[in-house]
Chain A
């Protein structure tokens, strides 16, 4: 069979917009098969190209986001933002990249050079690993693992250790303090993150992310999408996941690990040049990964938000949702001040984790009742009553007391 025949055979699917993101992978596979490569090589090369596609997409996303974030924050603060490099500042990421690459790479005398070098690399790796298992479209799942969700969380745990390595290997005070803050924050917020995902696993009955998305297909009443967010337990778990994901991504208002006004840059203080850029890359890729997971678990992944929109390629819906979620992160960053460390920990352990645990029985009841009106009637009180009790308690016990000023007028 000639190469043309092979291409022609695959053509109807090959050139459709739905398959566009996987076009490079499939072309490489067809070529390798044509040249008679062994099966494992074809699979391996296909994976490599698929991974390269994902990395390319999200690295350009990283470049774009770094500009969009600065522009958005500037507009929120009534500034203009970067507008010098290129048309409306479009070349700013390029300028930043050149600057970072040409900067001197400083390793402090007291640093452990190997760990100091390994930490920024190990920060980027788990984010890229996590990006690999997310289903971006109906046909675009870079690595369709059966244990995708578990893999995602397992890869994510590597971040804590690499942050510690960065903080400890720098051999100075601020990085160490930042790393300790970062680790305690990540450990605390990983629990509500995982527990709120458990409800979705229970209802879907699978750890595979494509299966979770497939479960959310269809519409209630003809127009409400059957996403997990639009169930009582899903709403509760989704909100908890959202808050915990902001903390996991070290974003404002939970950006204590790198609080500029307190500890310079946290664990990144002693880094410069490209290593510093790698930290940012890891952070932004982690942001993409965690928002992608949130979309997959609660916002229906690549499912269209309204019926009759099937003609649009599914991966476009995924990225549209991702834009919305990430813009909401930016909005929150532009609005809220940083929380204090004791408020942060207390919020995680006394509010998020109990409420996340409550979503589990709610999801179980929902699953066995089979949703519908009965499901709403049983699970809404189960979740609402503790929320109200918790709110009253929070207002009573933990609301800040009215400040009295000794010297300034109130």
Chain B
């Protein structure tokens, strides 16, 4: 019976054969639109929120193509931490007015396009060549978290350790950076 079977994966409902392309075709333009907004919007907070939307949609994309673990981690880290950090520092730094940004825009956009269009051309060229590879037809099986854990702590154990050291250093370093220099945090009255 249908209901007795555990679902397990979020994307299962999409990975039925006739549905597998649809989420990609729907999500990709949305992601690109949100990213375009993040690049284009003059108001910094809007740009940051649109970046969060774009990254969240990428997380949904991962979920639909079977990388559940990565998708959820992406959502947690990018939407829950990175976007919040960016928004928070935007609030603290009170970025300058948008009029200046908009006035500068025609010049900067032309310069930017001159630099990025060749990159885009090269990338599109490479992708169009790659699309013909026979490997594109294969679909790898979905992995379980247990498998991730096993691989992570055997084959990639050194990398895990390095990342752990890096994150610790980052935590201490960021805390030191962000502190007001020469000022000890103080309690108002009673401590």
Direct contact of A and B (CB under 8 A): yes
**Is the Cβ of B8 less than 8 Å from the Cβ of A146?**
yes
Q: Is B3 touching A160 in the complex (CB atoms < 8 A)? A: no
Q: Contact between A147 and B72 (Cβ–Cβ < 8 Å)?
A: yes
Q: Does B27 contact A (CB under 8 A)?
A: no
A73 to B28, CA, bound (A): 50
> Which of A33, A157, A183, A400 has a CB less than 8 Å from the CB of B88?
A183
Closest B residue to A187 using CB positions: B84
Asked if A331 is at the interface of the complex by the 8 Å CB criterion, the answer is no
| Interface residues on chain A, size class | 35 or more
- Closest B residue, CB atoms, query A164: B87
Contacting residues of chain B (70-104) with chain A, CB-CB under 8 angstroms: 72-73, 75-76, 79-81, 83-84, 87-88, 91
CB distance from B50 to the nearest CB of A (A): 11
A161→B145 contact, CB < 8 A: no
Complex-state Cα separation, A187 to B16, whole angstroms: 38
Task: Kindly list chain B residues whose C-beta atoms are within 8 Å of the C-beta of A160.
Answer: 80, 84
- B108 within 8 Å of A (CB atoms): no
Query: How many B residues touch A, CB cutoff 8 Å?
Result: 37
Interfacial chain A residues near B190, Cβ < 8 Å:
400-401, 403
Can you list, as one digit per residue, whether each of B1-44 has a CB less than 8 Å from chain A (1) or not (0)? 11100111110010010010000000000000000000000000
Given contacts A10-B1, A26-B3, A143-B7, contact A183 B72 (CB under 8 A): no
Contacts A33-B2, A164-B87, A398-B191 given: A145-B79 contact, CB under 8 Å? no
5 extra A-B contacts, CB within 8 A, seeds A147-B72, A151-B72, A154-B75: A42-B2, A150-B72, A157-B79, A187-B84, A397-B191
Name A residues whose Cβ lies closer than 8 Å to a Cβ of B.
10, 22, 25-26, 29, 33, 39-40, 42-44, 46-47, 115, 143-147, 150-151, 153-154, 156-158, 160-161, 164-165, 168, 176, 180, 183, 187, 190, 205-207, 210, 340, 342, 397-398, 400-401, 403
25 contacts between A and B (CB under 8 A): A26-B3, A39-B2, A44-B13, A115-B49, A143-B7, A145-B9, A146-B68, A146-B144, A147-B10, A151-B72, A154-B80, A158-B79, A160-B84, A161-B49, A161-B79, A161-B80, A161-B84, A161-B87, A164-B87, A168-B87, A176-B91, A206-B146, A400-B191, A401-B191, A403-B190
